[in-house]
Structure formats: structure tokens, C-alpha cells
Amino acid sequence: MNAQAEYERWLRHEELDPDLRRELFQIEGDEREIEDRFYQSLTFGTGGLRGVLGAGTNRMNRYTVRKVTQSLARFLVRQGDAAMRRGVVIAYDSRRQSSAFAREAALVLAANQVKAYLFEGVRPTPELSFAVRHLGAAAGIMITASHNPPEYNGCKLYGADGAQLTADAAEAIAAELADVDELAVPLADAEDAAAQGLLEEIGAAMDEAYAARLRTLAFQSRENNADYRVVYTPLHGTGSAPVQRALLDIGFRHVTVVPEQERPDADFPTVASPNPEDPAAFALAIETAEKTEADLAMATDPDADRVGVAVRDGSGAFVCLTGNQLGALLLDYILSQRAKRQALPGNGAIVKTIVTSEMGAAIAARYGVETVETLTGFKHIAEAIRQWEKTGEKTFLFGYEESCGYLIGDFCRDKDGVQACMLTAEMAAYYAKQGKSLHQVLLALYEQVGFYQEALESFTWTGREGAKRIQRLMERLRKEPPERVGDAAVTARKDYLPGIDGLPPADVIKVLLADGSWFAARPSGTEPKIKFYFGVKGTDAADASERLNRLKTDVLQFIGMTKGSDLCHAH
């Protein structure tokens, strides 16, 4: 793609959005900026697009949204009238331009005679997944950039089962993208589309249907939860209403929402990043918990598909649990409650990703439950559920990934922060009745299955050169892999690119070491970053911590980076 030629083509477009036109005039003559904005179209990866808002083919804007929606519409039209009538559900979060992008998508679909169900206000990603299934729609669109900084937005695509697109569907839509001119996508008139039944707003009735299914997940009576104090923050996102309702529905009477963060706000003014994986995002929640004498603080990201928690440790101070730690607690709670009720099926299975802690597999084994591993990304967990529905081979019990994503009830097919908040609060109240904190329960689990610790280091390099740097790093790991890491010999190197272990191809490398430690490298499919995952098992907490720090140091030295450098953003 010739960046300068594309820049000039956009400027010549008579109906170009005035704000975007002014933005393009402001960079006139800036070859580097023009190159970055127009050297490619925004990458379609892991079922959608995500990028910085702005003018250009390599930015998120109304024309980017039109292009991907037109590609989805063509994909559905090829499937025939039935798919077009079943339509597409569209939801959006609290980010900049999310509402406008959602309406643009609806009008593109209507112009193609594909029905659009448009939520009348902000909703979380898991409710979008639920709505696709509930309405029997052919697809779904979620306008969100998850937990990225305020200058980002994005668009995720969902299939008829409520899961993010399968590889085949994503490839088909990506192929359509190449033939779509983003500046020439037709839009329907909103009033005409509504009159023809091609545009329908949805809202309260879907909220009620979703809430009703959430209530079925509760293990305890409402009375068990009545006195327990919880603090929750939606981090200026979509989670406030559904999470508060879910907690109220199962009996929680003392839920305090962080007032400064309760309302949706696209600028996320109280946090550096609205990411529940980041302990810094909990500052106000912990402050509120101290004031209200709560023992649990929970936070969801802007589209409420991820949840993080902070709990009191043995000294009474708040500590943030990792995604792996909360996953271990939820897993043990769910399996123990099912076992208590003699409701553990003989073919029950949990699903975790290849970069998620091995602690989950150890816990599941105690209950005689199988652990199935998938590639990173919740669509792969959803794919396992879909296959088991067809074959009856296994019964899904729980799915999770290290990045604070959890699924308990499969009426959604993406990670669900609302479900996870509800069960986490119930779990905390249940143990509190027994005089135990979640921190104490976690320590007991370590004693039972082993002291597992994990970490993540992320490197972000933007632009064309950044993408090349990430590619060179992966090539080095493939062509010149380490034979030893520190004192431990490499016992296996799993390159998932050709497709191994019955999994589809993925640009991931996982290295197993003789001492039981491991690390993995994975470029992001939607962001200009590469992630390194680390896992160890120690004889006690101190030993595990020492092993983890040594592993991280040795691996980062091998790849030529140092922890904490200005290019390394650790979560």
C-alpha cells in the first residue's frame, strides 16, 4: 500500500468526515506520520480489529468500522436469506465514539438487507455473547477495545454460537476485507431501516433474560450472602448495572460501588489504565473497602469481560490476586460445591489456555476432572464447548485464562466478568461464614497442590518497525532457541505455528525446562506487542518466588531485553 497515495485519496473524498479531514490536514507534509497511518489497513486478528482512534487506514474510525462490517455483511449474504433474516446483534462499551461506531455498523448491515439488533445503551461483552445466542442471530459485533488506554477502540466479531469467530469464518471475512473500499461502503437511512424491520433496538428485555440465567449459577442461598460487604468498581465501563443487579439478585445487601468510577467515562480519568490486571487500578477500590470495612474489592474492565480482585492478607492489608490465583480459587470452589451436591459428571472437564498456570490442572485432578488445554484466546475455549455439545464427549465445568478471563455458565461463549464477580462474591461470603478469608483458602490450596507462581512481561513496539522487531524476535526463538535457561536444561520446545497437540496453528512458542519451569512467547493478534509468560513450581512460597525471578531474568537476558526497560510494560 502506497501511504502517500492513500493519504491523498482520503483527502479527495468529498464526503469525508470533517473531523478526520482536519486531522489529515494537520499532518500534511509529515511523511513519518502519514506512513504510520496509511502503510497498511488495520490488522484483522483474533476475530476483530483494535487500534488507536484517528484518520487513516491503520486507525480506528467510522470508515474502518464500515469496512469490517461490510465484509461481515458479504459473508452473511453468501450464506443466504436465512442468515440475513437472523441478523446481527450489536453492542458497545463506554469508549470514545463507541455509540457512533455501533450505529454505523447497524446501517451498513441494513444497507445489505441484513437485520441489525442494536442495544440502546452501553452493555458488556458477555451480554452481547448471550444476546446472539438468545435471539438466534447469525453473528454479533462488539464495539470495544477491552482494557486498552482511552485513545483506543476496536470491533470484535462473533459467530452464531456467541463465541468470537472461528478461524475459518475469520479467514473468510479477512478475504472479503481485501475487496472492500472503506470510503465507498453504503449506509442505509435509519428511519427506512427501522420501517423495513432491518433495524431493531433492544435493551431491558435482554437484560432481564441475561440476569435470569446468571441467577442459575448460584450455589448458596440468598441468606448466606446478606451480611457480607463487597466493594466493586466498573472502572468507568459497562459493568456497573449488570454486576450490581447480579449481586442483589443473589442476596448481597452491602455492595458499595466506587463513586468516582461508577459512571461510564471514555477518558477513564481516575486510572492510568482501566485494566483489572493492573494493581494500580485498584487504588480507589481499596480505599473504599477500607472505609466500608469490606474484605473483598472487585474490578471489571470497560467491556466487563475481565475481572480482578483484591483481598485482605494475613496482616489485614489488601493484596491483588493474579488471574491465575483467582482462577484457582474459583475452580476449586465450583468443583467442591458440585462434589458436595453429587453433581460432578463423570465426563466433566475444565478448559484452560496453554499459558495459564498448571495449578488449575492439579486442582482438577484432585476431583477426578480432566483438564483440556487450548490456544490463548477465549474463542478456543468456546470451540471446545461447541465440540462437546455436538459429541457429548465431555461436560464443560469451567474455563479460564491467566488474563483475568473466566466462564462458569456456558449460556455465554466469551469470558464473563459479571458471572465471575457474582461467583467470587458468593465464594468469599461462603468461606467467611467458616471464618476463612480468600487469602487463607488460597494458601491452603498451595499446600495441597504445590506452590505455583506465574508472571507476564509485555513489550510494545509500534509502527512498521515495531512489527518487524517482533517478527525477528520470534524468528530467533525458532532458529536459535536456548539449550539451557540458567541452570535448567531445555527439555522440550513447542512451536505451535504448524499446529501441534491437536490445536490449530498459532504464532506461539513454549519452552519447557528440566526443573518444571516453563516460558512462552506470543505476539498479540490485535496490538503491537509481544508477551512473554513464565511459570514455576516451588517447594514453598519463597522458593517459587526465587525461581520465578531467576527465570524471568535469564529469559529476558537471552532475548536482549531487561525487565523494567522503557520498552517493557509488565502487568
In this structure, what C-alpha cell is assigned to residue 547?
525461581
Total residue count of the chain as it appears in this document: 571
HSE on the CB side for 569, CA within 13 Å? 12
**Amino acid code (one letter) for 196:** Q
**Rounded Cα gap, residues 416 and 381, in angstroms:** 13
Catalytic residue annotation: 146
**Rounded Cα gap, residues 101 and 91, in angstroms:** 10
The β-bridge partners of 509 are 495, 521
Closest CA to 124 of 322, 278, 327, 264: 264
**Rounded Cα gap, residues 128 and 116, in angstroms:** 13
Backbone dihedral angles phi then psi of residue 264, each to the nearest 5 degrees: -60, 135
Q: Which residues of 445-456 are buried (b: 16+ CB within 10 A; e: fewer)?
A: bbeebbbbbbbb
**Amino acid code (one letter) for 5:** A
Closest CA to 235 of 272, 199, 195: 272
**Amino acid code (one letter) for 529:** K
Residue indicated by cell numbers 510494545: 460
**Rounded Cα gap, residues 465 and 168, in angstroms:** 29
Contact (Cβ atoms closer than 8 angstroms) between residue 485 and residue 555: yes
Q: In what order do the strands lie in the sheet with 488-495?
A: 484-485, 488-495, 509-513, 518-523, 529-538, 451-460, 568-570
CA angle 116, 121, 122 (to 5 degrees): 105
Residue indicated by cell numbers 441494513: 110
Q: In what order do the strands lie in the sheet with 405-407?
A: 370-374, 348-353, 395-401, 405-407
Residue indicated by cell numbers 442476596: 251
In this structure, what C-alpha cell is assigned to residue 495?
512451536
CA angle 309, 314, 317 (to 5 degrees): 55
Q: In what order do the strands lie in the sheet with 152-158?
A: 48-52, 152-158, 139-143, 88-92, 116-119, 199-202
Q: How, if at all, do strands 518-523 and 529-538 pair?
A: antiparallel
Give, for 499, the enclosing helix (H) or strand (E). none
Q: Would you say the C-alpha torsion 331, 337, 338, 342 has a positive or negative sign?
A: positive
Q: Which residues contact 436 (CB under 8 A, 6 or more apart)?
A: none
The β-bridge partners of 118 are 90, 201
